[in-house]
Amino acid sequence: MKQRSSHAALDLFRVAAAVLVVAIHTSPLTSYTQAGDFFLTRILGRVAVPFFFMVSGYFLAQKGWVSTRSFLKKTLALYGGAVLLYLPLNWYQGGFSPWEWVRRLLVEGTLYHLWYFPALVVGVLLAKGLLRLKLPLALTGAALLYLVGLGGDSYYGLAVQIPGLKALYDGVFQLFSHTRNGLFFAPLFLLLGAVGISLRPAVAAAGLASSFAAMTAEAFLLRSFGVQRHDSMYLFLPLCMVFLFSLLLSANSGENRTGRRLSALIYLLHPWCIVLVRGGAKVLRLNGLLIENSLFHFAAVLTLSCLLSALILLPRRPRKDARAWREIDIGALETNAKALRSVLSPGCRLMAVVKADAYGHGAVPVARALQRQGIREFAVACLAEGVALRRAGIRGTILILGYTDPTEAPLLFRYRLTQAVADLSHAQALSARKLPLHVHVAVDTGLHRLGVDAGDHEQLARLYRLRHLRVDGTFSHLSDCDSLCKEDMERTRSQLEQFQEAVDALRFMGCRPGKVHIQSSYAVWNLPPQRCDYARIGIALYGVYSSSSAVYHPLALQPVLSLKSRVASVRTLDAGEWAGYGKVFQTRRETRLATVSIGYADGLPRDLPQRGGTVLIHGQRCPMVGRMFMDQLLVDVTDCADAAAGDVVTLIGQDGPHCISAERLAVSCGTITNELLSRLGQRLTLIVR
């Protein structure tokens, strides 16, 4: 799989934008040419901050703005840390009055570059509020705010000639030092980023060249007239940013988190680096080189900013892909969810089953991704899994399908979890805790695992009348819906009928069954749409089948998980040598043997090599040999001449023209896909793509 970072144009341009911000605050060309420095810092440099706003708006929109709260929390936390970082500098410069502290914290930032953070917070709130209108109206409103800000910025000398506007701007500047802020400046660029206008690269490039030339002419003309109060806002700047962002989008195919973090650190740290360079220059008596020479001053500040940022970014933990790992394709998961929802009956919602760490896929990232897709119902197996999801910020219904001891009722209540009722005595014990617990009633239609007998309508009705339980739903499990043989299909029809009769009887007796659900993944594949409120879908979400048996309604689903490891070592053995424990494997020819850093402690069966297990290296199939170790396995790479230490080994997934499916590996392991994936160990790190 190609690394997405290779064409991460948006994240890489963040670094360029951060360098431009450093240039703005150090004026690199002022020792040589005032006009050249004006062009660099007051025209070219002015694309940096609008780009930061646009990329924030773009990614918030990609997630449907549902992550706004989390985004704002992170922004405020970063802002708080930056305020503390610059407290010594503020103290050294004399500090502010209490009112000025409040004003700067909320509006201006406590140092000249920190204005961006309150502007981003205010801008995001305004942009999201404007989006309650139709998009054209939201953009119009943001553009009008920008025009007002423009009059208080580079067009100030002209705007105040209009009667009444001087008084308006005098009032504005009682609170704001600049109209380049979260009210007038940020909303337009956030919304333009959210729209993500996509033009053909040639059109975007031509538009960028022409609009930037127009902005350059505009800036120099305004400078010649001396009408600017500030020079952050130009009439042609939004148009220029639309073309620039479109050009970057056309080249963007992933993310580069290192570039993203590096740009943020350069932005945050460079004012301290200006102070350190100036102080160091005085101590070393290099004022002429490092202070008076503007270009060398800029180079020193930028170099120090990059070095400090790189030191902070030095890895503090092992790489996730250093030994063995699971890769999760969130795009495939979202595609599967969309496909599954499209075949449900009208009004039926998808309840995502994320038990057993989402079948080995990572319950938290899976649930977060599905939550962004509008899914609000999740099912887990036990209390601990439900609590973990709540602590990770998952909202909506979280149904515990398994047994929870009634003594744990306070945790059910605290974390707003919905508990499946195993039988009447379990319900009575839960009710005895005297907490308003939300429950779904399990009805036993023939699986004989949990639930009240579907034919015992009186006992079911007693359960619904328990004082402290809030019955939100009624459900059952189908035992044979994964089979298309006639006898099993008859049993499935019988279970469906029993369930429907029980629900109808409850309604007749005055009980409200709440949301009803009986469908699983195979019920969606093998049955017509059911008259249910939820379909509990697990294995199908992850794009795989439990086994190789046929289904009646196959869907175009994509596997979500890949399992990978690395070659630790390659050695050559002579013919007739033994390798591994127990003399299970003996070479028949000169053999190149690779040790791969994954073993049975990671969830694979110890006898998988003897069952015909294979791996993919450089797109070639290579057989496992010998007896699997706890932490490694042996692979014959004699026919894979390029195999070397550090190479990626694929155990599940695609590599070149070949693929090892989870279903195929499960067959080799002598089990079903559900068990294989659920057994993948926690020491296998999770990489979300």
Could you list the active site residues?
355, 581
Look-up of token digits 């279903």? 663
Neighbours of 157 (CB within 10 A): 14
Indicate the SS3 state at residue 641.
Answer: coil
Beta bridge partners of 443: 452
Q: Which two tokens stand for residue 4?
A: 């997405």
Q: What are phi and psi of 584, to 5 degrees?
A: -85, -30
Query: DSSP label at 106?
Result: I
DSSP for residue 104: I
SS (H, E, C) 414-429: HCCCEEEECCHHHHHH
Any bridge partners for residue 569, and if so which? 595
Which of 475, 480, 519 has the alpha carbon at shortest distance from 344?
A: 519
3-state SS class at 148: helix
Written in H, E and C, the secondary structure of 288-338 is: HHHHHCHHHHHHHHHHHHHHHHHHHHCCCCCCCCCCEEEEECHHHHHHHHH
CA separation for the pair 191, 55 (Å, rounded): 10
Tokens of 156: 């100030």
β-sheet bridge partners, residue 585? 579
Distance of CA 432 to the CA centre of its chain: 41
Query: Is 449 part of any known ligand binding site?
Result: yes
| Contact present, 483 and 551 (Cβ < 8 Å) | no
Closest CA to 127 of 43, 44, 207, 183: 183
* Residue 12 contacts residue 258 (beta carbons within 8 Å): no
> For residues 248 and 13, is the Cβ–Cβ distance under 8 A?
yes
- DSSP structural state of residue 597: S
Find the Cα–Cα–Cα–Cα dihedral 8, 13, 15, 19, rounded to 10°: 170
Distance (Å, whole) CA 195 – CA 602:
44
Tell me the C-alpha distance between 536 and 659, whole Å. Answer: 29
Q: Is 254 left (phi over 0), alpha (psi -120 to 50) or beta?
A: left
Write down how long the chain is.
Answer: 689
Listed in order, strand segments (DSSP E) in 422-560 are 437-444, 452-453, 469-475, 515-519, 534-537
- Report the Cα 596 to chain-centroid distance in Å: 30
- CA nearest 297: which of 31, 47, 111? 31
- Strand-pair category, 349-353 with 534-537: parallel
Q: Which residues are annotated as a binding site?
A: 449, 630
Q: Which residues are annotated as a binding site for substrate?
A: 449, 630
